[in-house]
Structure 1
Amino acid sequence: MTTQRSVVVKIGSALLANQDLLTPRFGFLQRLLEDVNRLRADGCNVIICSSGSVALGLRLVGETPESAGVSDKQAAAACGMPLLLNAYRQVGHEYGFEIAQVLLTLGDFEDHRRFLNTRNTVHRLLKAGVVPIVNENDTITTEQIRVGDNDRLAAKVAQMIGAKDLIILTGVDGLYDRNPDDPDAVFIPEVEDVSQYMDATKGKSSLGTGGMETKLLAANMAQEAGCTTWIAQGEVDRPLSTVLSGERRSTKVLPHPNPLSGWDSWIANRLQMAGSLSVSKGVAKALASGERPICREDVVSMDGDFARGDVLHIYDGTGIERARGLSDFSSEELRVLINNPDTEAEQLLGYRTKGEIIRSSNLVMLENRHLLWDAPEGVN
């Protein structure tokens, strides 16, 4: 594995695709990859999380951002991805480096084995001096299996490879305390607690799938892994190096001083909820010791259809999320265990087990630094 400083760069569709013509913006790519080359020369590894495939393919399938449905966008992604990669390749060759395509789905992040396999692939590309271009595989993903936005995808990549910095290039120069079109909006240069600004982040671009809200969600994920997030305007010369050097205005989201381990970070930072459990307030308080597992007698209610090895969200009796942990049972098995509390687990399931739903070593208590998820309906 590489030990060089790694920088993950997220590029939005509006920067990569001409909004009217839906063609690649080669001027932007020239400035971007020239700066990527500059960072590489300074000893940095650079990974690009790129939007743009759907936008570039819409014209080829006869659609617009406003008219395209799900199947239209999937077909557009298939048409647009070769255009996007060819544009990156053409410009990258001017600076003497190769690029590689890494297409991911939600499962590549939520399944730990696939997560590790993906990490190994990215590290191998970096070792070879190749710049990975990461994107969600929009051609095959549906709502149930998609990450949904490349901001959080980039944050998961940053967590995956242990990046020091995540740079999110966008159409504004950073975070404001309200809509930046408001003349009274105040620029926020530095953030420790992103939850303070979530209400001011609604809205998104016409070409993209995320707005400032998803950028702060991504920044919170990066914080937990000890990664600094920078949110900055992309339409400038040297769009990356001027951010890292502090030469121009951007919003810096500080990493947590005590980041989670790789294992705990993977458990705690989710892209979708596989399932959830509700326990009593007393049990939730006892879990805080870090030495207590969650057993079947602790469960008040459950929600979702999940597999063994999925991460569950744990709520107390008031609906407040307290922890996340790796389930040792599928939802089907767990329902059998919960509905038959007086029968031995081995007799119910047909194999020997302690009946611990989530082991203490696979449970991460959530602190104030985490953004909490609302409980599903029916989980109290």
Structure 2
Amino acid sequence: MHKRKKIVVKIGSSLLAHSENLTLRYAFMNGLMSDFAQLQKDGYDIILTSSGSVALGLNMVGKRPDEAGILDKQAAAACGQPLLMNAYRQIASEHNMDVAQILVTAEDMEVRRRFLNIKNTMTRLFESGILPVINENDSIATHDLRVGDNDRLSAKVAQMVEADLLIILTSVDGLYDRDPSEADAEFIHEVEDVSSHLESTTGISELGSGGMLTKMQAANMAQHAGVETLIANGIIERPVSSLLNNERRHTRCLVTGKTASPLQIWLGNRLQVAGTLVIPNAVATSVAAGECGIGRQDVLSIQGSFTKGDVLHVYDEDGREVARGLTNFSSEEVMLMARHIDMAVEEVIGYKTRSDIIGSENVLVLADNHLQIDAPDQDQKMVIPV
């Protein structure tokens, strides 16, 4: 029996909703579901990462996209999500398909236990031939706790299910070297190093929360999970199968280098920063070489309020992000242990442990082409006195 291939498909608000009256594009949704139905018969398991709930609900709360605040958008999401799922359910049923809704928050994707629970749910849905439709739970997400865009969420989902392919459907044919409205803009068919194209990806759509920048960030996350990404126009007949058959223009973001283990992939691809550590350059060199973890004596400063099991971003003294790793202690415990290295650990935190702050087995050293996150400003850090 052949293994079924897994595809994650992301569609944005601009494809789902008319920009003027903020109503659903039923013709697009029907074409998409028809394509999905045939692909399921052809041996594909598909996950749909779908935006659209906020855009569809804005009419009900009496706001336009350019004037809606966070509370307006939360209320709009609560109004729009049932409309969106009802449309998916009705259209899918016309093609003899069943759909399921999964709403997530950034924390669901960052906490390892929740991450695995969502993966298990989707695996069970696949076994029953049901199409999962996943979206951020915008009705409860605040600015600080949001994933922020469904492009990167789709990459996390692709990582989660170990997908064969991530397809991001948008309102343009793919990536250009500059704004595609410029006459001399050149189309880019293939990308190896995502970071070299970030300067040409500014701007966001009227309805969505992301633009080509977040699509490139998503592609980079997928690359390091061993997943190729295709970026293409969605307003076309057979929007997915035509890409699989290489029938139309698109941008392909290649997988480069050796794919890490599932745990390392999860460590490396973050949607949010739980906290940071700054360590001496000499220690950073040893960590990058895989020679050691990070002990309490190595911590120069910390930032953020984190708990045991969170993933921390590790920087050297020059502000370069060198690694990400799973912390064995909370931010309060790290601060206390680093400030009192002359005292036994059990005297400082109240229990015995031989653990490093981050053990060497739970460190991912960032590759050169891994998009890094800038170090926080100095005034955001808790500096450990010498």
TM-score (norm 2): 0.96
Which residue number corresponds to residue 330 of structure 1? 330
**One-letter amino acid of the counterpart of residue 49, structure 1:** T
Distance 1:248 1:289 in 2: 44
Q: Percent identity?
A: 52
Tell me if the contact between 1:159 and 1:222 (Cα under 8 Å) persists in the aligned partners.
yes
Q: CA deviation at 1:257?
A: 4.1
Unaligned runs of 5+ in 2: none
SS of 1:294's partner is coil
- What residue number does 1:162 align with? 162
Give 1:288 shift.
Answer: 2.3
1:157-197, Cα deviation, whole Å (9 max, x unpaired): 00000001000000000000111111111100000100000
Equivalent-residue separation in structure 2 for 1:181 and 1:138 (angstroms): 31
Q: Distance in 2 between matches of 1:216 and 1:38?
A: 29
CA distance in 2, matches of 1:355, 1:333: 12
d(CA) in 2 for partners of 1:127, 1:210: 32
Aligned residue in 1 for 2:203: 203
CA offsets per residue over residues 60-107 of structure 1, 9 Å max, x none? 111111121111111111110111001111110111010000000011
**Distance in 1 of aligned mates of 2:243 and 2:55:** 27
- Pairing of 1:45-56 with structure 2 (within 5 A): 45-56=45-56
Aligned-partner Cα distance in 1 for 2:316–2:70: 37
Question: How far apart, CA to CA, are the structure 2 residues paired with 1:284 and 1:67?
Answer: 46
RMSD: 1.2
2:273 paired with 1:282 = no
C-alpha separation in 2, matches of 1:357 and 1:7 = 37
Contact in 2 for aligned 1:296/1:355 (Cα 8 Å): no
Q: Secondary structure at the match of 2:260?
A: coil
Residue deviations 1:227-265 (CA, integer Å, cap 9, x gap): 010000011001001111111000000113411111000
Contact 1:155-1:221 within 8 A present in 2 as well: yes
Letter in 2 for 1:294: I
Which residue is 1:148 aligned to?
A: 148
Residue correspondences, number: 379
CA contact (8 A) 1:46 1:131 kept: yes
2:35 paired with 1:38: no
Q: Give CA deviations for 1:265-295 in whole Å, capped at 9, x if unaligned.
A: 0001100111111111110111123241100
Q: For the residues of structure 2 that align with 1:141 and 1:271, how far apart are their CA atoms? A: 14
Shift of 1:19: 1.0
CA shift for structure 1 position 338: 1.0
Per the alignment, residue 376 of structure 1 pairs with 376
1:345–1:355 contact (8 Å) kept in structure 2: no
Match of 1:19 in 2: 19
Which residue of 1 is the match for residue 309 of structure 2?
309
Q: 2:216 maps to what in 1?
A: 216
Is 1:228–1:252's contact at 8 Å kept on the other side of the alignment? yes
Partner secondary structure for residue 97 of structure 2: coil
* Residues 1:255 and 2:270 are matched in the alignment: no
Q: Aligned to 2:223, what secondary structure does the other structure show?
A: helix
Distance, in Å, in 2 between the alignment partners of 1:269 and 1:104 is: 17
- Say yes or no: does 1:96 pair with 2:91: no
Structure 1 runs (4+) deviating above 6 angstroms are none
Q: Distance in 2 between matches of 1:28 and 1:369?
A: 36
CA distance in 2, matches of 1:153, 1:3: 25
Cα distance in 1 for partners of 2:349, 2:3 equals 45
Matched, 1:193 2:190: no
Cα offset, 1:41, TM superposition: 1.2
Quick one: which amino acid aligns to residue 135 of structure 1? Answer: N
Per the alignment, in what secondary structure is the counterpart of residue 80 of structure 2? helix
Match of 1:57 in 2: 57
Q: Using the alignment, how far apart are the partners of 1:289 and 1:37 within structure 2?
A: 48
CA shift, 1:355, in A, is: 4.5
- Structure 1 segment 353-372 matched on structure 2, within 5 A: 353-372=353-372
SS of the residue aligned with 1:23? coil
Structure-1 separation of matches of 2:321 and 2:3: 36
Show CA shifts across 1:315-363 (max 9, x none).
1111111000001110001110111110011111111111510001100
Equivalent residue, structure 1, for 2:127: 127
Letter in 2 for 1:199: E
Partner in structure 1 of residue 266 of structure 2: 266
| Residues in 1 aligned to 2:335 and 2:222: alpha-carbon distance in whole angstroms | 35
Q: In the alignment, which residue of structure 2 is the partner of 1:71?
A: 71
Q: Which runs of no fewer than 5 residues in structure 1 stay unpaired?
A: none
